[in-house]
Chains A and B, each alone.
Chain A
Amino acid sequence: MSVIFYGGTMRFSVMLQQLGGGMLKSMSIFALTLLFALPLGLFVSFGRMSKNKILQGAMKVYISIMRGTPLMLQLLAVYFGPYYLFGANIGGGYRFTAIIIAFSINYAAYFAEIYRSGIESMSPGQYEAARLLGYSKSSTFLKIIFPQVIKRILPSMTNEVITLIKDTSLAFSLAYAEMFTIAKQIAAKETNFMPFLVAALFYYVFNALVAFLMERLEKSMSYYT
C-alpha cells in the first residue's frame, strides 16, 4: 500500500514544493514555446504557400521532418548536434535554450499547417472585396483575413496547445528539471508512485485551465459566423 499511499521518508509538503518548482519550469517551457512557435509557424505557413517553388519545397521538407520524427529525438539532436557536428562546447547553460529551440521548431511546423488550413479556407471574395475597397495587401491580411482565420483555427489550436503541455515532460530526455523529471527522481528515490499521481494532477489542472481559457476565447469570437 505504501507504494501508492505516500509513506516515503521525504515529507509530503517537501515533495509538493519540489514538484511545484518543476511545474514552474514546465510552464516556462510551455509559455516560451508558444511565444516563439506561434509567430514562427505563421511565417512557415507563408513559405509553405509561397509561389516561390524553392521556398515552398524547403518548408514542405521542414514540416515533413518535424512531423515525421519523434520530438524526443529532435530534442537530443538540437542539444547534442552542435557538439557532434562542430565540436562545440555544450555547457549546462545551453540545455534550456536547446529545449526551447527544439520545442519551438517542432510546434511551429504543426502550427504552420493549422494556419495554412485556415488561410486557405478563406474565400477569394474576401481578398477581392478588400482590394476593391482600397486595403493594402498587409492590412488585408492583418485586418480582414487573419482575425477570421484565428476564429476558424482556434479548436485545432486548442488541441495542439494542450498536447504541448503534456509534451513538456519530454524535456526529461535532456535531464532538465521540469516537473516530470522531478517526479521520476523522487519516485525512484522513495520507491513510491505518489509523485507521479501528484504530477498527473498538476498536468491535469494546468490543462483544464488552458482549455477553459481557450473556450472563453472561442466564445468571445462567437458573435459572428
Chain B
Amino acid sequence: MALLEMNHIRKHFGGLEVIKDISLKVNEGEILSIIGPSGSGKSTMLRCATMLETIDSGEIIYNGERVAWVEPDGKKVYPKGAKMKEVGSLFGLVFQNFNLFPHYSVMKNITDPPIHNQKRGRDEVFAEARQLLKKMGLEDKENAYPCQLSGGQCQRVAIARALALNPKILFFDEPTSALDPELTGEVLKVIKSLADLHIAMVIVTHEMNFAREISDHIIFMDQGVVAVEGSAHDVFNADHARMQAFLGKLQH
C-alpha cells in the first residue's frame, strides 16, 4: 500500500495554473525526487501534500485513507481538529530557509514540538533529540541559538526537528538552495544518512547528482506537468528534449 498518493492534483494562483493534473505515489521507505526548472510547480506540489496550500481538484491519500479531496461541485474537503492532527503527524517538512524558531535554543527547537504537541515524556524526547543531534554532527550545539549557527547547521537542526516527531514521510523543499556548495555537501550527506531510518522522503532539489544517487524514483516536472518519470537511470537517459536541455544547462 502506498504511504502517499496524490491523484489528479490541480492548483492555480489567480489565473495561473501551476499544477495541471499531476499524480504521484510514494511507498513506505521510498525516496522520490522531484526535479525541474524553477516555476514548474515542484514546491507547490510539496505545499499541497503538506496542506500548506489547498488543492483545486484531485485527492490526497495518506496510508490508504483519503484525507483531502475536492467534490465535483468544487467544495474542498480537508481534515479538521483531531483528524488533522493525526494526518499531520504522518509527515514533516524541511524548508528551503529552515524556519527555525530564533528565540528557541537548538534543543528547544527540536524538543518543544514532541513534548507539547505530541505529549511525549520529556526524558524520552531529550534522549532522542540528543541522538538526532549526534546523527546530524551537532552534538556540541544543543544550547546554541539559530543565529549562532551556519546555514548548513541550521538546516541540519531543521531536519532533526522534523525527525523528532517521528514522521512516516519527510518532505524537503529545496533544502540546499540557500546554502553555498560546501554547506550543501554537508546537508546532502546528512539526508543520505537518513536512508537507513527507513522513512519515506520526497525531495525537491536542483542537485542532480544527489537526486541520481539517492532516489528510488524521479519525477521531472515542467510547466505544471510531469514530463518524465521513472528510475534515476531511466529519467537521466530519457530522450526528452526539454529535460535534456535543462540538464545540459545545469552542466555548464
Contact = CB atoms under 8 A, between A and B. Distances in A.
Interface of A: 123, 125-126, 128-136, 139, 143-144, 147-148, 151, 221, 223-225
Interface string B88-126: 110111010101111100000000110011100000000
B227 interface: no
Nearest to B118: A134
A220 to B, nearest CB: 12
B101 A126 contact: yes
Nearest to B167: A132
B117 A224 contact: no
Given A224-B145, A225-B147, A134 B103 contact: no
Contacts, number: 58
Given A128-B95, A148-B103, A224-B146, A134 B52 contact: no
11 contacts: A123-B99, A126-B101, A128-B95, A132-B162, A134-B117, A135-B116, A139-B116, A151-B103, A221-B103, A223-B145, A224-B102
| Interface of chain A, main secondary structure | helix
Contact of B102 (A132, A136, A225): A225
A133 B95 contact: no
Given A129-B101, A223-B145, 7 more contacts: A125-B99, A131-B88, A134-B117, A144-B101, A148-B102, A224-B145, A225-B147
B99 A224 contact: no
Contacts of A135: 113, 116-117
Contacts of B89: 134
Top-10 shortest CB links A-B: A134-B117, A129-B99, A125-B99, A133-B113, A225-B147, A224-B102, A224-B145, A132-B93, A147-B103, A224-B103
A133 B145 contact: no
B85 interface: yes
Given A133-B161, A144-B101, A224 B147 contact: yes
B154 interface: no
Contacts of A128: 52, 93, 95, 99
A129 B146 CA distance: 15
Nearest to A221: B103
A131 B50 CA distance: 10
Interface string B137-177: 00000000111000000000000011001000000000000
Which of A129, A131, A148 has most B Cβ within 10 Å?
A: A129
Contacts of A123: 99
Contacts of A133: 92, 113, 117, 161-162, 165
A123 B95 CA distance: 13
Given A148-B102, A225-B102, A132 B88 contact: yes
A225 B147 CA distance: 6
A129 B95 contact: yes
B8 to A, nearest CB: 24
